Chains A and B, each alone.
Chain A
Amino acid sequence: MRRRRIHDKFIEILLVIATIAVLLPLIIIIFHVIVEGVSALNYEFFTEELGSPSRAIQGKPTGLVHTILGTIVVDMLALVIAVPVGIGAGMMLSEYPDHMLNPTLRIMNDTLNGMPAILKGLFAFVLIVKPMGTFSGLAGGVALSFVMLPIIARATESALLTIPWTIREAGLALGIPRWRVVISAVMPAAKTGLATGLLLAFARAAGEAAPLLFTSFGNNYLPDQWFGFIFNPVDTLPQRLYSLAISPYSEWHSMGWAAAIVLLVMVILAFVFARFVTRGKVQLK
Chain B
Amino acid sequence: MEINIMKSKDLPEETLKTVHSNTENQKTVMKNRMETKNLTVKYGSIYGVKNISLPFQDKTVTALIGPSGCGKTTYLRALNRMHDLTREAKIEGEVLLDNKNIYDEDINPVTIRRKIGMVFQKPTPFPTMSIYDNVVAGLKLVGIRNRSLLDEVCEKALKQAALFDEVKDRLKTPAVSISGGQQQRLSIARALAVEPEVLLMDEPTSSLDPQATLRIEELIHVLKKDITIIIITHNMQQAARVSDKTAFFYVGDLIEAGDTNTIFTNPKEKQTEDYITGRFG
Contact = CB atoms under 8 A, between A and B. Distances in A.
Interface stretch (A44-52, A74-82, A123-131, A181-189): A181-189
Residue of B109, B130, B141, B194 ringed by the most chain A CB atoms within 10 A:
B141
A170 B124 CA distance: 6
B46 interface: no
Contacts of A174: 113-114, 117, 137-138, 141, 190-191, 194
Contacts of A173: 80, 82, 113, 117-118, 120, 191
Contacts of A172: 82, 85, 109-110, 113
Contacts of B126: 167, 170-171, 184-185, 189
A204 to B, nearest CB: 28
Contact of A167 (B111, B127, B172): B127
A176 B137 contact: yes
Given A97-B87, A283-B133, A166 B138 contact: no
B255 interface: no
B174 interface: yes
B77 to A, nearest CB: 9
Interface in B113-160: 113-115, 117-118, 120, 122, 124, 126-130, 133, 137-138, 141-142
B109 to A, nearest CB: 8
Contacts of B194: 174-175
A189 B142 contact: no
Nearest to A176: B141
A168 B141 CA distance: 13
A31 interface: no
B246 interface: no
A175 B85 contact: no
Nearest to A170: B124
Contacts of A177: 110, 142
Interface residues of B, number: 32
A284 to B, nearest CB: 5
Given A175-B114, A176-B141, A283 B128 contact: yes
Interface in A191-205: 191
A172 B110 CA distance: 7
Contacts of B85: 165, 168-169, 172
A176 B142 contact: yes
B62 interface: no
Contact of A176 (B127, B130, B138): B138
A175 B127 contact: no
Contacts of A1: none
A175 B110 contact: yes
A189 B137 CA distance: 15
Nearest to B128: A188
Contacts of B142: 175-177, 180
A181 B138 CA distance: 10
A40 B120 CA distance: 64
Contacts of A175: 110-115, 117, 138, 142, 194
B187 interface: yes
Interface in A129-167: 163, 165-167
A181 B190 CA distance: 14
Contacts of A166: 120, 122, 124
A282 interface: yes
A98 interface: yes
A177 B84 CA distance: 13
B129 A283 contact: yes
A178 B82 CA distance: 12
B204 to A, nearest CB: 13
Interface of A: 97-98, 163, 165-178, 180-181, 184-185, 188-189, 191, 282-284
10 nearest CB pairs, A to B: A175-B114, A174-B138, A170-B124, A188-B128, A173-B118, A175-B113, A185-B126, A189-B127, A166-B124, A176-B141
29 contacts: A166-B120, A166-B122, A167-B124, A167-B126, A167-B127, A169-B124, A170-B187, A171-B137, A172-B109, A172-B110, A173-B113, A173-B117, A173-B120, A173-B191, A174-B113, A174-B141, A175-B113, A175-B114, A175-B194, A176-B110, A176-B137, A177-B142, A180-B141, A185-B141, A188-B128, A189-B126, A189-B127, A283-B129, A283-B133
